[in-house]
Amino acid sequence: MFNRIHALIIKELLALLRDKKSRIVLIVPPLIQLFIFSFAATQEVKNQTLAILNLDHGRPALTLEQDFTAASTFSEVLQLQRAEEIPAVIDQQQAIAVLWIPEDFSRDIEAGRAAQASFILDGRKTNAAQIVQGYALSILNSYRAKLINNGQQAGVSLVSRNWFNPNLDFRWYTVPSLVCILTTVIGLLVTGLSVAREREMGTFEQLLVSPLHPLEILLGKALPALLVAMIEGAFIVLVGVFLLRVPFNGSLLLLFGSMAVFLLAIIGVGLFVSSLSMTQQQAVLGAFMFLVPAVILSGFASPIENMPHWLQTISYANPLRYFMTIVRGVFLKDVSAAIVWSQTWPMAIIACVNLCAATWLFKKRME
């Protein structure tokens, strides 16, 4: 039995790696992705343009204007002359926001009345608008504190600390997340296409007339994919740690142990899709039907806690959700084996269900 599986594994690896183009495609693009996306996927907001319409020439208005232009979020400032210019500037996205200081601002401040400046934001970019609004309000707060207290401190002081990522460097967050996404893509596509390719090429019948048991065929399809995806995963981790300088504080054993369980769950999905499809095109598109929702529900781009409860319930069936938590935890937090285990056993259950479903479907489709 082992001889037969061994032969099948070698055959699968050859089918995958013999072609120069597919060797390149397995190695180069994931690395390029890792580099580009780890720099790109940042939710900080900087290098923004602010437009200022200052109709007041008093000193308080000038100070307020200076406080805004000094903020690091805004790298460019656009001076406006008239209120009529505002709609065009916002509509055409020449600036993310307009600070509008009315004529009587300084007079009101000096008279001790409420002095109102306006801050108009472009709501098309919800996330950026929200963050810039927060910055603007805190600039105003400190401006007000300067005015009222003449530098005296308020009654409560807040000490902010960030564990595991003291400077909130976004790359420390994206690189572990990309390790998960890229291994998913590789595991899914390699297995997803394997059975479908044989069907499409007609070599599947040859496999069926061989003495191989259906389970052996499936093992022969699953193990090479596991091997390739694990090696790729290790490679991506190495690049992340040594070239992109993301700290790795945890245990390698825990990382790769849980990665194997995770990949079995993904390979289960891939084999299921593959057994279902008659052609490679169906297999790829089927893999996408899984991949896109899985990435969205993984907590990578938006926190799972923000989702409605029914969707959070669905996300418990998503292996990517657990693996993201593990990889981030192992990279940055040096989490204990107990915590890794609490995220691994759900993946193990998912893996069992997926692999059983794939075997069942595979046997059924052979009849």
Footprint on residues 277-296 left by other proteins (CB under 8 A)? 277, 279-282, 284-286, 288-289, 292-293, 295-296
**Least separation in angstroms between CB 5 and other proteins:** 23
Rg (the chain; Cα; Å) = 28
Residue 332 touching other proteins (CB under 8 A): yes
Minimum CB separation of residue 302 from other proteins in Å reads: 5
Contact string 187-226 vs other proteins (x = CB under 8 A): --x---x---x--x--------------------------
Q: Is the Cβ–Cβ distance between 333 and 247 less than 8 Å?
A: no
The CA distance from 219 to 27, in Å, is 24
- Inter-CA distances, 73 with 46, 130, 146, 202, Å: 4, 13, 21, 59
Window contacting other proteins (CB under 8 A); options: 17-25, 203-211, 226-234, 353-361? 17-25
Please give the Cα distance from 32 to 303 (Å, whole number): 26
Q: Which stretch binds other proteins (CB under 8 A): 51-59, 105-113, 237-245, 353-361?
A: 105-113
Q: CB of 3: closest distance to other proteins in angstroms?
A: 28
* Residues numbered 156-185 forming contacts with other proteins, rule: CB under 8 A: 156-166, 168-170, 172-173, 176, 185
β-partners of residue 78 are: 51
Q: Which is nearer to other proteins, 208 or 289 (by Cβ)?
A: 289
Cβ proximity of 164 and 246 under 8 Å: no
| Residue 170, SS3 per DSSP | helix
What's the rounded Cα separation, in Å, for the pair 285 and 283?
6
Quote the CA–CA distance of 36 and 82 in Å, as a whole number: 41
Tokens linked to 108: 């009101």
| Residue 149 binds to other proteins (criterion: CB under 8 A) | no
Residue 175: count of CB within 10 angstroms of its CB: 26
DSSP assignments along 175-228, one per residue? HHHHHHHHHHHHHHHHHHHHHHHHHHHT-HHHHHHSS--HHHHHHHHHHHHHHH
Contact code string over 75-94 relative to other proteins, x by CB under 8 A: -------------x-xxxx-
Phi, psi of 168, deg, nearest 5 = 50, 50
Q: Which is nearer to other proteins, 2 or 163 (CB)?
A: 163
With binding defined as CB under 8 A, does residue 150 bind other proteins?
no
- The nearest distance, CB 178 to other proteins, in angstroms, is 10
14 binds other proteins (CB under 8 A): no
For other proteins, the closer CB: 58 or 220: 58
Binding mask 38-77 for other proteins (x = CB under 8 A): -xxxxxxxxxx-----------x---x-------------
For the chain, the first-to-last Cα distance in angstroms comes to: 22
In the list 5, 125, 230, 346, the residue contacting other proteins (rule: CB under 8 A) is: 125
Count Cα atoms within 13 angstroms, Cβ side, for 214.
14
Specify the residue, 4 or 108, whose C-beta has the smaller distance to other proteins: 108
CA-wise closest residue to 54 among 12, 106, 15, 11: 106
**One of 6, 11, 17, 116 touching other proteins (CB under 8 A):** 116
- Name the one range near other proteins by CB under 8 A: 203-211, 216-224, 333-341, 359-367: 333-341
Query: Contacts with other proteins in 248-277 (CB under 8 A)?
Result: 277
In the bound complex, what is the minimum distance in angstroms from residue 358's beta carbon to other proteins?
A: 18
